Each structure stands twice: as C-alpha cells, then as structure tokens.
C-alpha cells in the first residue's frame, strides 16, 4: 500500500476552498459548481442530480485517480478557505498495491497533465506508510500581502489587499512581535471556530516592505497551528496599526482580554497565501 506525499500550489480565487463539499440543492449558480455530478435524494423523496462545489481537494483527487487508475482519498495539511492561495500545501494519498501507474519519478508530471490551470503539483514522492499531513505537521507559515499606494493593482490584483493610504510598516512590525510566543488568541478567531482551545504558539510574526517594490507590504506569520480566520484577523489588526488607528499596546490588550472587538477586521482572502509546512523528517 504505497503512500505518496504531494506538494501543491494553487490560485484559490476560483475555488470555494480546499475541502470537498456539496451545496444544498438549487442554492448556487452553475458558475460556482464543479464539472461532473452525482445523484442525491431531495427532501421530498425525489432523486435529483447534485453537482459538487469546485474545491482544490476534488480537483487533485480527480487528477490523481486518472493517473493511478484507482479511487484515492487526498488528505491536505491545511483546509484553506474560499479564495485563499497556496504556494506549498502538503497532501498525501495511498494506493492499493503497485497497480497500473507511471513510475514514481514521473507521477508529478502525469498529475500536472490532468490538473486544471490554477493548480500545480510541485512534487510527488514516496513517503512513510503512516505519514499524516495534519497530525504530523509541527509548523506552518502564511503570508498576507498588501498593495500599498494610490494606484490600484492590476496584474497581481487577485493576490493582494489594496490599501490606499501609506502603511507604517515599522509600527506594524513592532505590533506583530507582540503576538509571538504562546498566547490565547481568542480575540483573533472567527466566531464559531469550533476549537476547544484557542491557545496557539506563534513562532515568528514580522511585517516588511518588500525590497525593490515600495508598493508591497507583507505580513509573515508562522506557528504550530491557526484558528479559523486567525491570520486574516492578525493582518487586519496590523493594518489598523499601520494606518495609525491602533498601537502595539492595543494589540497586547486584545491578546490579554481575548476580546474580538479590540482586534482588527477580518481581511479578504485574496491577500492570504499558505507558504509552507514542516514535518519532523524535513531539513531544518
């Protein structure tokens, strides 16, 4: 039962997120539905056709299934939300025996040939039989990108949050460092996050203005795990600091009190990108 580790990148704009899901019948327009369909029974007892939402997990499963010639279940390290991008998403699947599939060194090429244009398989290698992309992950990193300036973005508009007024990246960086370490991040979680504990450890949180690109400000944050919308709320809070509406002391107060109203807004998904995950067997 060989197990494979995938490294994936994707433009999340036209996906409803990573995880496979199906909408209530008749609830969404055709443009938000994936190709292909299955049948389900309506509440009235009538059997009707149901089409799945377009998700990254489903797109990858469809491609891998065609390559290995058998059903597979893809497990991903992070369940990125609708519109969130990834440069490095770790996933895994297991196949039944040797089967009829390309040699290992050609699997990534074969998978890419069957993926849609907004998903890329950056690697596919054999891994240990018990490799768990979720449970074995010891750290992950995200980047939130701002386009900062009066001229709105064009070519990269799908990947940045536009802020017209000048951001003070030094003030943002000072506030970002307040978040480092183990804290209760209740103030930085969306309502209904569904986690028993809101305590997380942030390994590093920094804000920089990109070298050679004065209009790009980036928030980089890494940790042992993140709550629902946590990075987008962190980015929204630091944006408020950069605009002079909040201070590092305000950020500290939000952490200490756990009050969601003291943190900043939840920014849009377009600026968020999952950058990496790390596992015990990976190089430091």
81 counts as catalytic: yes
DSSP the chain: --EEEEEEEE-GGGSSBSS---PPTT-S-GGGB-S--EEEE-TTS-EEEE--B--HHHHHHHHHHHHHTS----EES--PBTT-EEEEEEEEEE-SSS-S---GGGHHHHHHTTS-TTEEEEEEEEE-TT--TTTT--EEEEEEEEEESSSPPSTTTTS-EEE-SPP-HHHHHHHHHHT-EEEE-GGGS-TT---S--EEEEEEEEEEEPTT-TTEEEEEEEES---TTHHHHHHHHHHHHHTTS--HHHHHHHHHH--GGGS-----GGGEEEEEEE-TTS--
**CA gap 89, 193 in Å, rounded:** 21
**CA gap 14, 223 in Å, rounded:** 27
Task: Give the active site residue among 14, 26, 81, 129.
Answer: 81
Element holding 237 (H helix, E strand)? helix 230-242
Vertex 168 angle, CA 162 and 169, to 5°: 85
Q: What is the DSSP letter of 26?
A: T
Residues acting as catalytic residues: 81
């Amino acid at each position: 039962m060989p197990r494979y580790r995938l490294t994936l990148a994707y433009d999340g704009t036209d996906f409803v997120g990573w995880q496979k899901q199906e909408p209530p019948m008749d609830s969404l327009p055709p443009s938000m539905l994936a190709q292909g369909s299955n049948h389900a029974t309506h509440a009235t007892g009538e059997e009707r056709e149901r089409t799945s939402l377009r998700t990254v997990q489903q797109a990858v499963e469809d491609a891998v299934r065609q390559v290995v010639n058998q059903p597979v279940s893809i497990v991903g390290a992070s369940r990125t939300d609708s519109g969130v991008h990834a440069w490095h998403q770790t996933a895994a699947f297991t196949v039944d025996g040797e089967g009829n599939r390309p040699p290992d060194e050609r699997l990534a090429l074969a998978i890419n040939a069957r993926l849609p244009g907004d998903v890329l398989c950056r690697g596919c290698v054999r891994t240990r039989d018990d490799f768990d992309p979720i449970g074995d992950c010891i750290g992950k990193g995200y980047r939130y990108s701002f386009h900062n300036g009066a001229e709105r973005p064009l070519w990269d508009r799908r990947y940045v949050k536009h802020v017209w007024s000048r951001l003070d990246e030094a003030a943002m960086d000072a506030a970002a460092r307040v978040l480092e370490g183990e804290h209760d991040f209740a103030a930085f979680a969306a309502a209904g996050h569904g986690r028993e504990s809101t305590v997380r450890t942030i390994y590093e949180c920094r804000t920089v203005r990109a070298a050679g690109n004065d209009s790009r400000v980036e928030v980089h944050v890494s940790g042992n795990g993140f709550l629902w919308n946590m990075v987008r709320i962190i980015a929204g809070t630091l944006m408020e600091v950069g605009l002079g509406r909040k201070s590092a002391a305000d950020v500290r107060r939000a952490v200490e009190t756990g009050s969601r109203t003291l943190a900043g807004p939840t920014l849009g998904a377009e600026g968020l990108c999952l950058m990496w995950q790390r596992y015990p067997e990976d190089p430091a």
